[in-house]
């Protein structure tokens, strides 16, 4: 039997947890109590329920063993574990933030806060209220003021796709681009092939590039990976 030191934690609803000291010390709050010799009996944690405490302990276990030289847990594996771990409903997430703060477990606090921040990003105030069950408690005057201040964040400009140019190209060249190749092979050749994500100036550059690749292929040199195809196949970059 190993003589690993253990501490006893007691949740608000009376659940008892026996945990290795090193794991418990992931919590700076508990660490302080242990170092001040207040941990001989069960440490009461009146702000944390048993359910949440068991989750916190799970987190601490996973993150303590990662600093153990025997376990070679890569950063990526740990991140994947964190992502899985934090996939909980909002009520649990709220309790986890409060517990991580109260118990002072930095890694867990960062993880939970980042998760909430990611949920907030790019949502409208209405969507935020719906998701987090928040009531709009502004007075009409306050609402007016807030709207005036923040109006800029509610609207974004559209990209300049107004100029519509058509380009006629040989089929062999067009087939350099995987997306268009697929369209052609699906018999989409009756009318103009619309490329919504590409502006005409880029399309011009792309066609130039394709021309070069077709010429290179004809002279039996290796076609290099084309920036052009990357543009068409990756609409976010165009």
Partner 1 sequence: MWSNLPSDLLANIFSLLPPDSLARASSSCRHWHTCAKAYPLSTASNNLAWFLAMPIQRNHTLLSCYLHNPILNNWHALSLDFLPDPVRLVGPIGSLVLIRPTISTFLQLAICNPFTRQFRHLPMLNITRTKPAVGVVMVLDSTQSVLFPCFKVFVAGGMSEAEAPRRGATYEPTLEMYDSRRDTWQIVGPMPVEFAVRLTVWTPNESVYSKGVLYWITSARAYSVMGLEIGTNTWVELNVPMAEKLEFATLVRRNGVLTLVGGICGGEACLWELVEGYNWRLVEKMPIEFGIRFLGSKTSWGSTKCVGSDKAIYLYRDLRSGMVVWREVVDKGKWEWFWVEGCCSFGGKQVQTLPIKGVLLQPSLAPSWIP
Query: 102-141 burial by CB neighbour count: b if 16+ within 10 A, else e?
Result: bbebebbbebbeebeeeeeeeeeeeeeeeeeeeeeeeeee
Least separation, in Å, of the C-beta of 70 and partner 1?
A: 31
Please say which residue, 177 or 231, places its beta carbon nearer to partner 1: 231
Least separation, in Å, of the C-beta of 48 and partner 1?
A: 15
Least separation, in Å, of the C-beta of 87 and partner 1?
A: 18
Please say which residue, 101 or 179, places its beta carbon nearer to partner 1: 101
Least separation, in Å, of the C-beta of 23 and partner 1?
A: 24
Do residues 192 and 200 lie in contact, with contact meaning Cβ atoms separated by under 8 Å? no
Do residues 174 and 180 lie in contact, with contact meaning Cβ atoms separated by under 8 Å? yes
Please say which residue, 19 or 52, places its beta carbon nearer to partner 1: 52
Please say which residue, 78 or 97, places its beta carbon nearer to partner 1: 97
Please say which residue, 148 or 196, places its beta carbon nearer to partner 1: 148
User: SS3 of 17, please?
Assistant: strand
At residue 40, φ and ψ (nearest 5 deg) are -70, -40
User: What DSSP element (H or E) covers 18?
Assistant: strand 16-20
DSSP symbol at 15: -
Tokens describing residue 80: 């994947």
User: SS3 of 16, please?
Assistant: strand
Least separation, in Å, of the C-beta of 55 and partner 1?
A: 17
Least separation, in Å, of the C-beta of 117 and partner 1?
A: 4
- Tell me which residues touch partner 1 (CB under 8 A): 90-91, 94, 97-98, 101, 109, 113-114, 116-117, 120-125, 128-129, 132-138, 142, 146-160, 162, 201, 205
Annotate 59-118 with DSSP letters as a single string. HHHHHHHTTSTTS---HHHHHHHHHHHT---HHHHHHHHHHHHHHT-HHHHHHHHHHHHH
Please say which residue, 4 or 158, places its beta carbon nearer to partner 1: 158
Least separation, in Å, of the C-beta of 106 and partner 1?
A: 11
Please say which residue, 74 or 136, places its beta carbon nearer to partner 1: 136
Which residues are CB-neighbours of 219 under 8 A, at least 6 positions away? none
């Amino acid at each position: 039997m190993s003589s690993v030191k253990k501490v006893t934690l007691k949740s608000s609803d009376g659940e008892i947890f026996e945990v290795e000291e090193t794991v418990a010390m992931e919590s700076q709050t508990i660490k302080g109590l242990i170092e001040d010799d207040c941990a001989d009996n069960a440490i009461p944690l009146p702000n944390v329920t048993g359910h949440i405490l068991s989750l916190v302990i799970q987190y601490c276990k996973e993150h303590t063993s990662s600093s153990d030289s025997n376990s070679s847990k890569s950063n990526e594996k740990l991140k994947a574990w964190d992502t899985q771990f934090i996939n909980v409903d909002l009520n649990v997430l709220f309790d986890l933030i409060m517990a991580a703060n109260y118990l002072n477990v930095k890694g867990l606090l960062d993880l939970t806060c980042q998760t909430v921040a990611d949920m907030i990003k790019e949502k409208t105030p209405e969507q935020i209220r719906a998701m987090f069950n928040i009531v709009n408690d502004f007075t009409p005057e306050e609402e007016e003021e807030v709207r005036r201040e923040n109006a800029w964040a509610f609207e974004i400009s559209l990209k300049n796709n107004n100029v519509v140019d058509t380009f006629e190209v040989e089929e062999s060249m067009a087939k350099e681009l995987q997306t268009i190749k697929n369209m052609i092979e699906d018999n989409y050749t009756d009318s103009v092939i619309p490329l919504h994500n590409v502006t005409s100036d880029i399309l011009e550059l792309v066609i130039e590039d394709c021309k070069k690749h077709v010429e290179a292929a004809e002279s039996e040199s290796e076609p290099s990976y084309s920036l052009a195809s990357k543009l068409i196949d990756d609409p976010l970059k165009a």
